[in-house]
Structures are given as structure tokens and as C-alpha cells.
């Protein structure tokens, strides 16, 4: 039992450490290096950006897009601060060789000032925690996409099956018609044979009369 618990704990630890923790860094914004909080995710940038946008929308924040950034003007994220701010988020591929690795950059501006550069311990910590918790949102978003793709795969397969079943019904209808035609043809052949025999008898009768005439 203890060994089982230890194994489970190790697997849980490994699962949790698959995601990097957020940390401070910089990103180019409006031709200037801006201080930001960033985090990496083991997913393509399209999935991560979709998850981030979905998360922000659920929190009541409306986005605008500007030069590769998701921009949320005068928004309130209570997990970070009760005061409104401009949140600028950029998601990009980690490198050209790592298509399935993405980096999220998170900038907080207030009154055109980069708040993260103040080194406000509480605010920066809140941003880091917010980003760390995004891992669940990214995973859930990716799962929903996979579910949607699987549903579409099943839907296409079911549609193909329905078409096959419709084709079968059409073929069976044609087969029944052909069977009826075959039966009718067989009956016609039988009647035609009787008619031929009848005409042959007439012919034989005529030939018999020939002997009496000549």
C-alpha cells in the first residue's frame, strides 16, 4: 500500500512539473523591451492563445488585437488587482523547431506605465499565480478541441454509414425489381414455349395434310 502511494505521489509530481512555472522576463513591445511575466506551455501557440482568449472572455474581458498582442483595455482581473488596468498578452511559438511549445507574455499597464516594472511584489506574484493556473485552462481547452474533432470524426463516419445504408436500400429495391422481372421473364419463357409447341403442332398438322393433297 505504501509503495502504491509513493508511486502515485511520484506520478502526480511528474504531472505537475510538466508545466513550467511563470517567471519575469522581457518582450519587445512598440520597439521597446518591456518587462513581462512569462510562462511556457507544451502546446501549439494556436491552442494556447485560444485558451487564454477563452479564459479572459469568461472573466468578462473584451479583447482587441494589436500587432500580435491580445489587448484588454481598462479591464479588472480580481485575481491580480482590484484596480482596472490594460492587460497585454502575447502568445508565440517558442522556436521554429518547437511547434508544440509556446510562450505566453503578460504585461500590465496602468496610465501608460508598465506596472510590472515597479517590482510590486504582491501584484507580480498575483500575475505569476494567475499564469500558473492557466495550465488547467489550456489543458481543458485542448481537450474540448479534441472532443470536438472526435465528434466531427464520428459525425462524418455516421454520415458515411447513412449513405451506405441508403445505397443498400436503393440496391435492394433494384434487386427486388430485378427479381420480379426475372420471375416475369421466366413465366413469359414458359408461355412462349407453350406457344411454340402449339405452333409446331399446327405445322405438323399442315404437313400431314400435304400428304393427302399430293
Buried b / exposed e over 90-127, threshold 16 CB at 10 Å, is: bbebeeeeeeebbbbbbbbbeeeebbbeeeeeebbebb
Share of the chain above pLDDT 70, in %: 91
pLDDT tens per residue, range 25-59: 999 988 889 999 999 999 999 999 999 999 999 99
pLDDT tens per residue, range 137-186: 999 999 999 999 999 999 999 999 999 999 999 999 999 999 999 999 99
pLDDT tens per residue, range 52-80: 999 999 999 999 998 899 999 999 999 99
Q: Which helix (H) or strand (E) holds 114?
A: strand 113-114
This model's pTM is above 0.75: no
Domains in the chain (CATH in brackets) are: 17-150 (3.30.310)
Q: Does residue 44 sit in helix, strand or coil?
A: coil
Backbone angles phi, psi at 85, to 5 degrees: -155, 170
Pure H helices in 59-120: none
In the predicted structure, residue 8 carries a pLDDT above the cut 80: no
| pLDDT value of residue 9 | 43
Amino acid at each position: 500500500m505504501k509503495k502504491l502511494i509513493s508511486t502515485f505521489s511520484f506520478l502526480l509530481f511528474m504531472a505537475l512539473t510538466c508545466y513550467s512555472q511563470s517567471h519575469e522576463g522581457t518582450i519587445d513591445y512598440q520597439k521597446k523591451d518591456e518587462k513581462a511575466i512569462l510562462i511556457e506551455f507544451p502546446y501549439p501557440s494556436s491552442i494556447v492563445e485560444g485558451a487564454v482568449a477563452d479564459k479572459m472572455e469568461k472573466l468578462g474581458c473584451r479583447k482587441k488585437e494589436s500587432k500580435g498582442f491580445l489587448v484588454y483595455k481598462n479591464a479588472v482581473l480580481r485575481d491580480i488587482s482590484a484596480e482596472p488596468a490594460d492587460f497585454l498578452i502575447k502568445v508565440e511559438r517558442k522556436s521554429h523547431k518547437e511547434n508544440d511549445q509556446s510562450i505566453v507574455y503578460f504585461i500590465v499597464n496602468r496610465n501608460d506605465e508598465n506596472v510590472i516594472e515597479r517590482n510590486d511584489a504582491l501584484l507580480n506574484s498575483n500575475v505569476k499565480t494567475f499564469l500558473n493556473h492557466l495550465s488547467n485552462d489550456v489543458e481543458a481547452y485542448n481537450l474540448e478541441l479534441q472532443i470536438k474533432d472526435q465528434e466531427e470524426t464520428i459525425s462524418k463516419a455516421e454520415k458515411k454509414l447513412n449513405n451506405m445504408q441508403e445505397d443498400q436500400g436503393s440496391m435492394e429495391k433494384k434487386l427486388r425489381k430485378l427479381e420480379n422481372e426475372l420471375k416475369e421473364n421466366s413465366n413469359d419463357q414458359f408461355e412462349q414455349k407453350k406457344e411454340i409447341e402449339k405452333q409446331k403442332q399446327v405445322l405438323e398438322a399442315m404437313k400431314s395434310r400435304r400428304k393427302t393433297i399430293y
